[in-house]
Amino acid sequence: MFINPKSIIAFAIISIMLASCCQNSKTKDHSAELVDIKNTISSCIGWFKDKDFDLLYSVVANDPNFREIHPTDKVVHGIDEFKKNAEIFKYEGFQYVRHELKDLHINISKSGEVAWWYCLLDDINTWDGQPANWENARWTGVLEKRDGKWVIVQQHFSFTT
């Protein structure tokens, strides 16, 4: 029995293509990454419990491209402005009570180097003993994996009208 060499080559090419398609269609397990990302997001609010500024500054991008958009339409440009604005949290009368991330949705890019999230945030605090809360605030953001660690590069807070 004679086998046509063109048939063998065609069969080999199709086999390689099918094998590579099957490899690409496998979903990467991101469960460990998702835990790290959730901890990063939560730490961006939870740092206030102990007023751990080192923790806060470790979870946001330490560069001039960092952005934070407030519900008042104020935009914080860069880490230096962010740190300047964070000084208000040093006030002894401003105290953490609790925070909760509700309906948290996290997506990771195909490259595994970028992620984005959406949630509703309850950030419960007091100012001189009086409630100073953000309840059901919409919170979205983008994280980037830098040197093996997830950091927030942009975040946006808003309220329903």
The residue type of 81 is: E
Beta strands, E only, 40-161? 67-69, 75-77, 94-108, 114-127, 130-131, 134-146, 149-158
What pTM value is reported for the model? 0.81
pLDDT higher than 80, residue 89: yes
Instruction: Kindly report the CATH number that applies to the domain delimited by 30-158.
Output: 3.10.450.50
Mean pLDDT of the chain: 88
Token code pair at residue 15: 């086999």
DSSP designation for 60:
B
Check the CA dihedral 159-133-141-115 and report its sign: negative
DSSP designation for 28:
P
pLDDT higher than 80, residue 77: yes
pLDDT, position 73: 82
Q: How far apart are CA 60 and CA 26, in angstroms?
A: 32
